[in-house]
Amino acid sequence: MKIKVIIPNSGMSRKTLDEREIMLKGYAAADTEISVDCIDGGLESIESSYDEVLAGPHILRKVTQAEKDGYDAIIIYCGSDPAVAAARELVKIPVIGPGKLSKMVALDMGYRFSVLTVLPTCIARDTEAVYEKGFDMTRLASVRSIGIPVSDVREDMDATFNALCQAGRLCVEKDGAHCIVLSCLGMAGMGERLSGALGVPVLDPAPLAVQYAQMLGSLGISQSRAAYPAIGEKIRI
């Protein structure tokens, strides 16, 4: 099986992309091929709805190429799930949005969940995303930020982990969260350690997305054309 991972940030070095690839392969079956790439335009990170819109056309070009190159599934590697719906209209292979997926799992593992995001300015957007994706808002315990921008999340992993622990404890002890969702894919690889520190499941969207992509591929399941009809031929400028 071949999975294409599209990071909707521009300007990432090949070395950084290779590191992400190695990490994600650790979550996959031995015979699963994972290829990681970033977009060719847009911004260096997604931290607002404006950023999502700018990244959209670049994401869709990568999505189209991935299907042409024979990939079996696509992961849009961002907790905001930018351009996922449009990508599902564009291709036949399954397109996975890690943000929605991780919240679905959180709701299955507990009654109430919290979301840990990057900056305070992202709290409103992450809260709105829960509503827009159709989740019961009474099951959202809270959205808290760690005060670290996306571009710095992996610069000092110990500092990021400590910030996640501090915010996560508030989610559990003050907000009543049974599970916690990491909203930024830059936090990938920290879920298991955080679960041990906080005593509740911490959902890491990265391994969830890889495992889900494999499952859909092995079962031959993709997005419904009744929900995501194929786009028709028209002039698009």
**106 and 155 share a domain?**
yes
The model's pLDDT over 163-216, given as tens digits with 9 standing for 90+, comes to 999 999 999 999 999 999 999 999 999 999 999 999 999 999 999 999 999 999
Tokens coding 131? 């509503």
Average pLDDT rounded to a whole number, residues 100-121 = 96
Q: Is the dihedral of CA 220, 22, 117, 42 positive or negative?
A: negative
State the CB neighbour count (10 A cutoff) for residue 56.
17
Q: Is the dihedral of CA 130, 135, 138, 140 positive or negative?
A: negative
Number of domains in the chain: 2
The model's pLDDT over 29-65, given as tens digits with 9 standing for 90+, comes to 999 999 999 999 888 888 889 999 999 999 999 999 9
**61 and 121 share a domain?**
no
DSSP H/E element including 95: strand 95-96
**192 and 107 share a domain?**
yes
Q: Is residue 237 part of a domain?
A: no
Q: Is residue 21 part of a domain?
A: yes
List the end-to-end C-alpha distance of the chain, in Å, as a whole number.
35
**65 and 151 share a domain?**
no
**197 and 141 share a domain?**
yes
Tokens coding 53? 């819109």
Q: Is residue 190 part of a domain?
A: yes
In CATH, what number is assigned to the domain containing residue 43? 3.40.50.1860
Q: Is residue 91 part of a domain?
A: yes
Contact 170, 143 (CB under 8 A): no
Q: Specify burial of residue 31 (Cβ count, 10 A radius: 0-12, 13-18, 19+).
A: exposed
**105 and 55 share a domain?**
no
DSSP H/E element including 173: helix 157-173
Q: Is residue 50 part of a domain?
A: yes
**56 and 148 share a domain?**
no
d(CA 163, CA 172) in angstroms, rounded, equals: 14
Q: Which domain holds residue 161?
A: 99-204
Average pLDDT rounded to a whole number, residues 83-107 = 97
The SS3 call for residue 22 is helix
**116 and 91 share a domain?**
no
The model's pLDDT over 112-157, given as tens digits with 9 standing for 90+, comes to 999 999 999 999 999 999 998 899 999 999 999 999 999 899 999 9
**84 and 50 share a domain?**
yes
Q: Which residue from 88, 87, 82, 98 is spatially nearest to 49, judged by alpha carbons?
A: 82
d(CA 12, CA 206) in angstroms, rounded, equals: 18
State the CB neighbour count (10 A cutoff) for residue 87.
27
**146 and 119 share a domain?**
yes
**89 and 125 share a domain?**
no
Q: Is residue 40 part of a domain?
A: yes
